[in-house]
């Protein structure tokens, strides 16, 4: 996950100055979902990291932060903002998934203070997955257009079927996640 490339390389993924300029973390489902995840009970967090993957996030830097959180959860370590910050600090001047650590640290501050609560994590996780699921259809439509324009006629149908099978697998994943996430409940506190 951590690359040794120079932190100031120009080919790193970094949000542009105007990217989502009007979208504050308090209005961003992905930021709110990550906020809820860092505050979630370990049982809830484990369920979520078993369902979501970094590529479910439209903003790749949020996917990178999710990957760090997921690593902590899977290692059965605390996964709160302080521990994520420590993981970023251990990266030093390195690059994490193509992102400058400094930018990820700023993003971590944004998500930590976005204002969602741990018990909401499963609801946000489902919304993040739903948005990813929809983006998959957009990408498939774009791919189908490109296929129609560039692929030999004899291959068109099979290429379309490949896209259909991918969408079917995505639907099955989404339906399974809906069921699993709807059953998640915050653990009862001992009296």
Range of the structural domain that residue 125 is part of: 24-183
Please state the domain count of the chain: 1
Q: How many residues does the chain have?
A: 191
Residue 155 lies in a domain: yes
With contact defined as beta carbons under 8 Å apart, do 30 and 59 qualify? yes
Residue 86 lies in a domain: yes
The strands making up 2-3's β-sheet, listed across from edge to edge, are 2-3, 95-96, 99-100
* Separation of alpha carbons 32 and 84, rounded Å: 16
In order along its 191 residues, the chain shows pLDDT tens digits of: 433 333 333 334 445 444 555 578 778 999 999 999 999 999 999 999 999 999 999 999 999 999 999 999 999 999 999 999 999 988 877 778 888 888 899 999 999 999 999 999 999 999 999 999 999 999 999 999 999 999 999 999 999 999 999 999 999 999 999 999 988 876 666 56
With contact defined as beta carbons under 8 Å apart, do 121 and 40 qualify? yes
Residue 7 lies in a domain: no
């Amino acid at each position: 996950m951590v690359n040794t490339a120079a932190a100031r390389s120009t080919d790193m993924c970094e949000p542009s100055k105007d990217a989502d300029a009007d979208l504050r973390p308090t209005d961003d489902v992905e930021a709110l979902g990550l906020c809820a995840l860092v505050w979630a009970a370990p049982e809830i967090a484990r369920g979520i990291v078993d369902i979501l993957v970094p590529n479910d996030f439209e903003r790749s830097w949020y996917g990178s932060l999710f990957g760090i959180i997921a690593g902590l959860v899977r290692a059965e370590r605390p996964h709160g903002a302080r521990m994520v910050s420590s993981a970023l600090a251990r990266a030093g001047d390195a690059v994490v998934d193509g992102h400058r650590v400094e930018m990820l640290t700023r993003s971590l501050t944004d998500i930590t203070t976005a204002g969602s609560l741990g018990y909401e994590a499963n609801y946000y996780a489902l919304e993040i997955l739903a948005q990813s699921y929809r983006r998959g259809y957009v990408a498939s439509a774009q791919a189908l257009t490109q296929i129609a324009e560039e692929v030999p006629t004899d291959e068109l149908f099979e290429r379309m079927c490949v896209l259909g099978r991918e969408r079917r697998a995505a639907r099955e994943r989404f339906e399974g996640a809906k069921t699993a996430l709807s059953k998640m409940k915050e653990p009862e506190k001992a009296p």
